[in-house]
Structure 1
Amino acid sequence: MSIMPAHSALFAATSLALGTATAGAQTSLPPVVSTESLTVQAPPRPEIQNFPHAGVVGQPRRVTAKQNRPPHGTQGDWGVFTRGNGESAGFGPVGRYGVAPWAEDWRYLRDRSLRNDPFDPLKFIALNDSKTIWLTFSGETRLRNWFEEHPSLGTQGSPGSGRFGVRNLYGADLHLGSHLRFFGQLVNADAGGWAGYGYGTTYRKRLDLQQGFVEGTATLLGAKSGLMFGRQQFLDAPSYILYNRETPNVPLAWNGIRGYAIWPRVRVDLYDFVGTNINQNKMFHDNEDWGTRLHGLDVTLAPPDIRLGHEKLATYLDLFAIGFHLEGSLAAVAAGKSTLNGSTARQDGGFRWYGSSPSFEFSIGGLYQSGTFENSKSGATRSVDAYAVNSIVGYRNPKSRWHPFLGVQTDLYSGGDTRSANGTVGTYIAPFNPQTNYLDTTTYIAPSNLISLSPVLRTTPLDWLSLQFKAPFMWRDSTNDDVYSSSKVYSFRNIGGGLIGIIPQASLTLQLNRHLTWTQYGARFIASDSMKAAGAKSGSYYQSNFVFRF
C-alpha cells in the first residue's frame, strides 16, 4: 500500500468543506439491542475507576460491552470489542469522551429527552429534517505545569526547573448520512516557565490542522468496515509501544490511509502512514514528514469468555506486525562515547493477550524487533535483533467501598553492546511516544535496555477521586549498553552494576465534573550509588494537569 502526495490537497479540501475544525462520533451501523448483562453484588463502580494503563485521561473501566454504549458511554457499537475501556475496538480508550474525539458516538442525542448536559446541544446538531446529516463539535483545553529538582538526572535544563504548557484542540465532525463523514481538528499550543528547557515544536505551535480526514463506512463480508484517509490520530497498538505524545503539548498526527473490518469476534486493521513536520512559527504550515513512516497490520481476536470462579473473564488477543522508518536523532545508535547518526527501518512482530473480570485484570505481551541501521557517514549497514516483554496482573475487590486494585507490573526491553560501532544492534527502541505513565512518570528513563519491576496500587474511595501508587525498580538489561531517556542517550560512563534506581510515584485524579479533571503526579527519582558515581543526580518531580473537555 503506498502513500501519495495528494494528502495536502485532501487536507485543504477537508478544511474548506468544514469551514472550521471538526470532531465527534464513530460512523458505524446504528447500535443494536444487546442482551448482555452483569450482576455483581457490590456497590456500583464509580465512573473514575480506571485501568492502570488507561492513560492520563481518566477512562472508566466497564466490564461489559453494553456499559460502554450510550447513554453510559459514547463508543460506537463494536460488540464485544467495546468492553473494558473500549481500546480493543482499535480507536483508543473511550469513556464519555475519547482520547480520539472522533471515536465518540453521540447519535443517541437525536432523542432530545436524553439530553442532560449543557454541552449536549453541541454534540448532535441536525442539519436536515430527517436528522441523517448532523454535526458534532468537540474540544479540549489543557493546562499543564511541571517542577523538576534535577531534570533528566541533572543533565538537562537547570536545577529547580518549572515549566507551564497550554494546548487547545477543537474540532467538528460532519456526518453525511450513515456512511460518510469529514472530521477535522485544530491545534495551538504554547509553553513557558522559569529555568525552563526543551520548548521545541512539540510544545509551541501556532494554529494548524491537527487532524483532517474523510471516512467511508459499509458492511463488507459481514463486517462493519471503514476506510479513513487523511491526517489522523492512530492508537491501534499497545500503549506501551506507541501512543499519542501526551506529555508535550502537540499530539502525534499521522498522514495516510487506514482500513478496518470488525466481525463479531475478529477485528482487522491495516494502515500506512507518514509523519507530520511541525512548524511552530507559521499558521497552517505543517506538512508530511516523508522520512518517518509507520505501517502495519493488527488482528484482534475475542475468544469466548473464561469461567473464573463465579465470574467470567473476557479476554482479547492482539496479533500485530508494525513497521517503521526513522531518520535523524531518533534513529541514532550509541557507540562508545558518541552516537552514530543514520536511518533505521525496524519491524515489530508480536502479541498482546489481555482482559478482565469484575475482580481480575491482566495484560501480557511480547514482541521481536528486527530491521537494519544505516550509518549516514559510512553507509555501513547493521542488522537489528531486539525484543520486549510486558505484563501487568492484578486483583480488584469490587465489594469494597475503596474499590482497590493491587497488582504487579514487569517490563523487559533488550539492550545491546555499545562498546563497538559494528555488529548487531540489540537495543530495543519505541520512538513514537509510548504512554508516559505506563512506565515512568518523569520520562527520565526510556523503554530501551531496561528491566522494570513495580507494585501497582490503585484505590477509588469516592466516585470523583482516585489514587494510584507505583514504585518501579529499574535495571539495565545489558551492562554493556547505556542508559536511555525519552529523548537521548545519557552520557554516563563506567556505571558499575546494572541497577539504575527506584522511582516511587503517585497520582491523584479528581473528576470535578463531567468536563473538568485535575490530575497530579508526584515522583522521586532515587538514583543508585553506581549511577550517582557516574554523575547522575536524584531529584523530585511534580506535574499537574487541569483539563476541560466537551
Structure 2
Amino acid sequence: MIRPIRARLSATAPLALMLATPALAQTAPSEAGQTRNPANPTVSSYPNAAAGDGATTNGFNLSRWAEDWRVMRDPAKRDDFIDRLKFLPIDDDGDVYLTLSGELRARVNLTTNPNLREAEAQRQDINRIFLGADLHVGPHLRFFGEVAHGGISGRNLGVPAATLRNDVVFQQYFAEASAEVGGIDVGARYGRQEFTDGPNLLVSQRDNNTIRYTLNGLRLWARGAKVRVDLFDLKPTQYGDLGTEDDVIDPARRFSGVTMGFVLPKTWFGKSSLYLDPFVWRRRNDVGAWGGRIGPAERFYAGARLWGDAGRFNIDWSVNHQWGTYIDQEIDAWHAFIAQTYRLGKGPTSPRIGVHFDYASGGGGYGDGKLRNAYAPFGNNIYYSYQLYLTPSNLIALAPNFTFSPVKKLRVTAEYQLAWRDNVRDAVYRANGQPFAGTQNVADAKIADVARLQAVWSITPRLSVTGRYEHLAAGPSLTKAGYASSDFLAGWVSFRF
C-alpha cells in the first residue's frame, strides 16, 4: 500500500506545492464565500445552506471550494469522464483526494450612451477562464487554488479595468484546517479567498466581473447545531492586468469583524426555515474618496440580516448602522434592504411576485457636516443597474418584480425600479463609488426609472445561457447635470465543471 501512495503523491506533488506554498506565504492582515461544508458532517452541524458560503445548487456553488463532491467516490454515481475529475484519489483509501473545477464563459455587452453621455455605443466581447484544484489531505486539512484569465475586446472600450482584462491571476489560494471539538465544528483558513458571509449588497465575490473580488488573510469559524460565529481579518487583492506578479495585497484597505448566525424555530409562521445573522465589522481605507477629497477613513458596521423561507414567502431583510471618521468628518449612515417574494403555486418553480425596498442614507459627501453617505464594502454591484450606474449610497429604491418559467429550465425575471436620492445636496453615485459629477448641484430627487429583464436557460447543471436587458430612463437628477438615458443588452454562455 505504501508504494502506490508514494507513486501517486509524486505525481501530484507539483500541484500540491503550487496550492500550498502561496497560501502560507501571505501576510496576515472581505464576497459572498463562507466556511465550507464540514469534511465529516454530524447531527450537530449548522445547516450548510446558511453557513456563510452561499447557495449550492445541483452540486455547484459560485465559490467552488464550498462544493462537496465525495459522492463521486462511487463509480456508480458518475455519468461521464468529467464526473471522474471531481474525485481523484491519491491514496488507496481515498482519504487523500483531489477535486478539479473550472469555468469557461463567453460574453457580449452592448451599451448605448456609455457613462450616460450621448456618444457612440460600446461593445465588450469578454471571455473568462477559471481552473481550480481542491486537495484534501484526510478529513481535517485541505489546500485550494484557482487560476483565472480574463480577456476583452470590442469597440469604445476606453481603459478596461483589471477585473475585465487580466492575462493570468492566482485568483484564490489558501490552506484550511478543520476539526470537531465537543460537538462544535471549528476551522481556520489562511490565504487568498472569496468572502460572502453577510448581506449580498454588502459583501459579494462580484461574479459579474470577469475576475472575482478576493481578499487575503485569516478566517476562523465555529459552528454548532443552532449557532455559529465567524471571525475574519482580511485585505483586498489589488489586481494588475498582466501576469501574477502585479496582483498584490492592497496595503491601504483592511476589512475585519465578526458575523454570527442563529437558526430560528421552524414553527414560526407555520413552517419556516429562517436565519438571523447579526454582524459587527470594521473597514479601514487610507485613501477614501468623497467629493474630490482623498484621506483616511475608518468605518464601523453594526447590523443584522433576517432571511429564509416562511411558507410561500422568501424574505431577505437587513439593516445596518455605520459610524466612524473620514478625514475630519464624523460618519453617521444607515442601510436598510427589504426584499421579499411570494410563490404563487406549490412547486419550487412556480411563478413569484416580489418587491424590494432599499434605503441608503446620503449627505456630507462634499464636506458639509457629518458624512451620512452609506457605503457597501464590496457588495453586489449590479443589483440596482446592470450597467453599474447605481449603488447603495444616497439612494432610495423601490422595485416590484415577477419571476416565472415559460418552459422547463428557463427562468425569466422582470423588474421595474424607481430610484431617488435621499439627499439632493449630494451626488448620484455609481457602483464603483464615484459620483456623477455635477449631480450634487441639482435640486431634484428623482434619479431614474430602470426597467430590467433577465432570462437564464439552465440547459444542464454545467451549461447555461443568460440574457439581460436594461433601459435606464434618466430622471432630472441626471438630465439636468447633462446625462442621458441608456440601454444595455448582454448575453453569455457559461460552462463549468
Does the pair score TM above 0.5?
A: yes
The one-letter code of the counterpart of 2:453 is A
After superposition, where does 1:62-101 map in structure 2 within 5 Å? 78-79=45-46, 81-82=47-48, 86=49, 88-95=50-57, 96-101=59-64
Q: Runs of 5+ in structure 2 lacking a partner?
A: 1-13, 24-34
Deviations 1:428-471 (A, max 9, x none): 11241x22343222211111100000001111243310000111
Distance, in Å, in 2 between the alignment partners of 1:169 and 1:150 is 32
Picking from 336, 345, 361, the partner of 1:414 is 361
Distance, in Å, in 2 between the alignment partners of 1:162 and 1:445 is 20
Distance, in Å, in 1 between the alignment partners of 2:209 and 2:375 is 19
Picking from 266, 272, 290, the partner of 1:333 is 290
Distance, in Å, in 1 between the alignment partners of 2:301 and 2:20 is 37
Residue 404 to residue 233, structure 1, CA distance change in 2 (3 Å): same
- Paired position in structure 2 for 1:523: 470
SS in 2 for 1:113: helix
- Paired position in structure 1 for 2:18: 16
- Paired position in structure 1 for 2:450: 503
Please state if 1:129 is matched with 2:86: no
Distance, in Å, in 2 between the alignment partners of 1:256 and 1:176 is 22
SS in 2 for 1:398: coil
- Paired position in structure 2 for 1:218: 179
- Paired position in structure 1 for 2:10: none
Picking from 376, 381, 386, the partner of 1:436 is 381
Picking from 336, 356, 360, the partner of 2:313 is 360
SS in 1 for 2:355: strand
Percent of aligned pairs with the same amino acid: 29
Distance, in Å, in 2 between the alignment partners of 1:520 and 1:423 is 44
Residue 307 to residue 277, structure 1, CA distance change in 2 (3 Å): closer
Deviations 1:384-403 (A, max 9, x none): 11110011122102336961
The one-letter code of the counterpart of 1:444 is Y
Picking from 320, 331, 344, the partner of 2:297 is 344
Residue 405 to residue 117, structure 1, CA distance change in 2 (3 Å): farther
- Paired position in structure 2 for 1:323: 282
SS in 2 for 1:211: strand
- Paired position in structure 2 for 1:67: none
- Paired position in structure 1 for 2:369: 423
Shift of 1:421: 2.6
The one-letter code of the counterpart of 1:542 is L
Residue 17 to residue 166, structure 1, CA distance change in 2 (3 Å): closer
Distance, in Å, in 1 between the alignment partners of 2:161 and 2:423 is 32
Shift of 1:168: 1.2
Picking from 481, 485, 489, the partner of 2:430 is 485
- Paired position in structure 2 for 1:371: 324
Deviations 1:451-499 (A, max 9, x none): 0000011112433100001111000001111111112111134323211
Residue 368 to residue 307, structure 1, CA distance change in 2 (3 Å): closer
Residue 342 to residue 146, structure 1, CA distance change in 2 (3 Å): same
- Paired position in structure 1 for 2:9: none
- Paired position in structure 1 for 2:488: 541
How many positions carry a matched residue from both structures?
Answer: 470
Deviations 1:317-354 (A, max 9, x none): 010012111244xx2111xxxx1111211111100111
The one-letter code of the counterpart of 2:293 is L
Shift of 1:501: 1.2
272-281 or 446-455: which moved more?
272-281
Distance, in Å, in 2 between the alignment partners of 1:458 and 1:358 is 18
TM-score when scaled to structure 2?
A: 0.89
Residue 489 to residue 483, structure 1, CA distance change in 2 (3 Å): same
Please state if 1:314 is matched with 2:273: yes
After superposition, where does 1:168-179 map in structure 2 within 5 Å? 168-179=129-140
- Paired position in structure 2 for 1:44: none
293-302 or 539-548: which moved more?
539-548
After superposition, where does 1:254-269 map in structure 2 within 5 Å? 254-269=215-230
SS in 2 for 1:16: helix
Residue 20 to residue 119, structure 1, CA distance change in 2 (3 Å): farther
Distance, in Å, in 1 between the alignment partners of 2:174 and 2:476 is 51
Note the aligned Cα RMSD (angstroms): 2.3
Deviations 1:267-290 (A, max 9, x none): 110000111121212334422112
Shift of 1:423: 2.8
Picking from 156, 162, 165, the partner of 1:195 is 156
SS in 1 for 2:358: strand
Q: Retained in 1: the 8 A contact 2:206–2:380?
A: yes
- Paired position in structure 1 for 2:394: 449
